[in-house]
Structure 1
Amino acid sequence: MRLLHLLIVVSVLLVSGCAGQQSVLEATGREAGEVEALFWIATGISAVVTLLMVGLTLTALSRNQRWRGIISHERTILLGGIAFPVIVLTYLFIHSTLLLEAGSSRSVENGEPTITMAGELWWWDVIYNGPDGEIRSANELRLPVGRPVSIRLVSDNVIHSFWAPQLAGKLDMIPGRENVITLQANEAGISRGQCAEYCGGAHALMSFHVVAMAADEYESWLQKESGPAEEPASPLEERGHTVFQQSGCGACHTIRGTDARGVIGPDLTHMGSRHSLAAATLPNNPDAIAAWITDNQHYKPDNKMPEYEMLAEDDLEALSAYLAGLE
């Protein structure tokens, strides 16, 4: 009995480890729900087969000659050892093959991708088709609830892989090739995605958040996101804007409505409204911004941003306040 209790406790702990924002067992999207259903079907079949095999093994080890004769009979071997596996594996193969086409074959209203996710080293460039043209964001994908959205996946460096476990299965991003995945969020909420293909030094820290919003909230957000950056709201933020310009940050980053038009790093126009920094490596607050600016290699080794250790403490505080205020 002690062994049984131990097995139950270990099983509960293992299952609890599958919960959270990046769990495939907490589907909030249509495609992920289909994948989860297939998982439970395969798991159920595996459990039944395992119990059956344990039972047959124990029976074969017993002294019951009648049952041992039944188990070793040629018909039992043909049905249980050949016919049953063929039927089960054929069903799983057909089911999974049809399921793999679910995301790519599902169409949207206009038939064209409305969002582009570009895999960079090591962050996500997110481009929306807004009311007035393209809108760039970074490391955060926003979707309207209840509406299928096609995501265009591209890379111009190495192979990445887009994976938002609560919404759909993963799809590779291959340089020189465009792949499209269609996502449909069934409920509002925040989940987490990840690059699922090793792509170099900071691969493990190349994550993103998926924010599913009510359709009207999404349209309002998209309209606001298409606008220029917020003006500094205080003398401290005004000073931070000056530090940003004088430190050359605009050579790599864009802040729409200012002279900063760099395209090497993420667009910072509305970075204050995002849920994380550095591809979900740090929380988004002034302290974390300051830590990232001066010591980013500590938090995300091999990333492409230089460390600005030369900034005076007052300048760093002002710069962090300015960037945090860009909502």
Structure 2
Amino acid sequence: MRPIALFLALGALAGCSGAQTPLDPWGIQADRIATLTHVLFWGGAVVFLITMAALALAILAPARMRALMGSQRFLIGMGIVFPATVLTALLGYSLGVSRALTQPMSDAPLRIEIIGRQYWWEVRYPDLGEGAVTANALHLPLGREVELNLTSGDVIHSVWVPNLHGKLDMIPGRVNRQRLRADRLGTLRGQCTEFCGQQHSLMAFDVVVQEPQEFDAWVARQRAPVPEPETEEHRRGMQVFGEAGCGACHAVRGTSWAARIAPDLSRVGSRATLAAGALPNTHGNLAGWIAAPQDIKPGNAMPAYARALEGSDLLALASWLGSLR
């Protein structure tokens, strides 16, 4: 039994820190939620201990004390007044925290639009100019309040970045808003938490918190057109992109390809993952994803190109896309 208990304890502790846990808050909203969690947990623990102590006394205490515990006054006090008081206090505290989570911290937050799609995320920065758009990655400036405008392009999704805020649904035809602020540098993980289809569990995204100057430089790169290919392989890769019809679904800034059906690929080489967190972004994984996306993430909308492209063309395409940083 001891190894099992140790394993369970280590599993519980593993959820207390890391890039996806509400118990390691990176902002004021998540801190309030974590505090509420501790208050409810420890409050419930105290009530449980009091209840177990009363049960033990009712069984083991001397007859005089057991008679006292059976009196009408004791039953009303401990059976009605005590739980009603405790639950009312916890309810009032919870409602106060819920209200605080919706209060704005500034009059001019940075607006960020996130559109959930099967099975990826479109992220846009309308306040920062035309072309400030990416996919499957949410970049945030350190210490600045942002307002997430959340909607869906197909079915109901739900976005959750546990270290920053609670989860909120994304509903087609409706915009839900959530304000948050990141106060620590680093990379977190967000996740869809509303079952949305076959690949719901592989619908994640990176949250990158940057210094304001670094964030501004990142936005400038996103808005800039992609550079002209510098090598023959990259030129061939760009040509294959057009010949294969990739531009019918994907956008690449600075070119005639401007579709929004699939993720924007203008700076795909700079992203940490592919296919909404399904794979690390490496040259081999990128080529494999283009060749056989249904083998990696069945049910997604990406067609397979293993038979449509020669091996050299496939590698050239992956090389060119990987160079878009």
1:105-136 Cα offsets, whole Å, 9 max, x none, are 3154426x611001111111100125432422
For residue 292 of structure 2, give the secondary structure of its aligned residue in structure 1. Answer: helix
Indicate the larger mover: 198-207 or 60-69.
60-69
Alignment match, 1:94: 92
Paired with 2:101 and 2:225, the residues of 1 have a C-alpha distance of 34
Decide whether aligned partners of structure 1 residues 15 and 75 sit closer, same or farther in structure 2, where only a CA change above 3 A counts. farther
Trace 1:1-20 onto structure 2 (pairs within 5 A).
7=5, 10-20=8-18
Aligned partner letter, 2:99: E
Aligned partner letter, 2:47: V
Indicate the larger mover: 129-138 or 18-27.
129-138
Query: Does the Cα contact within 8 Å between 2:190 and 2:205 map onto a contact in 1?
Result: yes
* Corresponding position: 1:31 with 2:29: yes
Alignment match, 1:286: 283
TM-score (normalised: structure 2): 0.93
Trace 1:125-274 onto structure 2 (pairs within 5 A).
125-129=122-126, 131-274=128-271
In structure 2, runs of 5+ residues without a counterpart are none
For residue 285 of structure 2, give the secondary structure of its aligned residue in structure 1. Answer: helix
Decide whether aligned partners of structure 1 residues 45 and 222 sit closer, same or farther in structure 2, where only a CA change above 3 A counts. same
Aligned partner letter, 1:320: A
Paired with 2:256 and 2:65, the residues of 1 have a C-alpha distance of 84
Paired with 1:76 and 1:324, the residues of 2 have a C-alpha distance of 73
Decide whether aligned partners of structure 1 residues 222 and 108 sit closer, same or farther in structure 2, where only a CA change above 3 A counts. farther
Alignment match, 2:46: 48
TM-superposed deviation, 1:68: 2.4
TM-score (normalised: structure 1): 0.92
Decide whether aligned partners of structure 1 residues 17 and 83 sit closer, same or farther in structure 2, where only a CA change above 3 A counts. same
For residue 48 of structure 1, give the secondary structure of its aligned residue in structure 2. Answer: helix
Query: Does the Cα contact within 8 Å between 2:139 and 2:209 map onto a contact in 1?
Result: yes
Paired with 2:320 and 2:64, the residues of 1 have a C-alpha distance of 82
1:35-55 Cα offsets, whole Å, 9 max, x none, are 000000001111112222222
For residue 114 of structure 1, give the secondary structure of its aligned residue in structure 2. Answer: strand
Query: Does the Cα contact within 8 Å between 2:118 and 2:300 map onto a contact in 1?
Result: yes
For residue 41 of structure 2, give the secondary structure of its aligned residue in structure 1. Answer: helix
What is the aligned-residue identity percentage?
A: 38
Alignment match, 1:300: 297
Query: Does the Cα contact within 8 Å between 2:289 and 2:296 map onto a contact in 1?
Result: yes
Paired with 1:131 and 1:55, the residues of 2 have a C-alpha distance of 60
Paired with 1:117 and 1:193, the residues of 2 have a C-alpha distance of 12
Query: Does the Cα contact within 8 Å between 1:232 and 1:238 map onto a contact in 2?
Result: yes
Decide whether aligned partners of structure 1 residues 63 and 319 sit closer, same or farther in structure 2, where only a CA change above 3 A counts. same
Paired with 2:230 and 2:27, the residues of 1 have a C-alpha distance of 39
Indicate the larger mover: 292-301 or 10-19.
10-19
Paired with 1:36 and 1:107, the residues of 2 have a C-alpha distance of 19
Query: Does the Cα contact within 8 Å between 2:16 and 2:23 map onto a contact in 1?
Result: yes
TM-superposed deviation, 1:83: 1.6
Query: Does the Cα contact within 8 Å between 1:189 and 1:213 map onto a contact in 2?
Result: yes
In structure 1, runs of 5+ residues without a counterpart are none
Paired with 2:94 and 2:35, the residues of 1 have a C-alpha distance of 11
Paired with 1:285 and 1:322, the residues of 2 have a C-alpha distance of 13
Paired with 1:214 and 1:46, the residues of 2 have a C-alpha distance of 40
1:12-34 Cα offsets, whole Å, 9 max, x none, are 43232443211111111211110
Paired with 1:197 and 1:114, the residues of 2 have a C-alpha distance of 23
TM-superposed deviation, 1:178: 1.0
Paired with 2:181 and 2:258, the residues of 1 have a C-alpha distance of 33
TM-superposed deviation, 1:96: 2.0
TM-superposed deviation, 1:252: 0.6
TM-superposed deviation, 1:160: 1.1
Query: Does the Cα contact within 8 Å between 1:253 and 1:264 map onto a contact in 2?
Result: yes
TM-superposed deviation, 1:171: 1.0
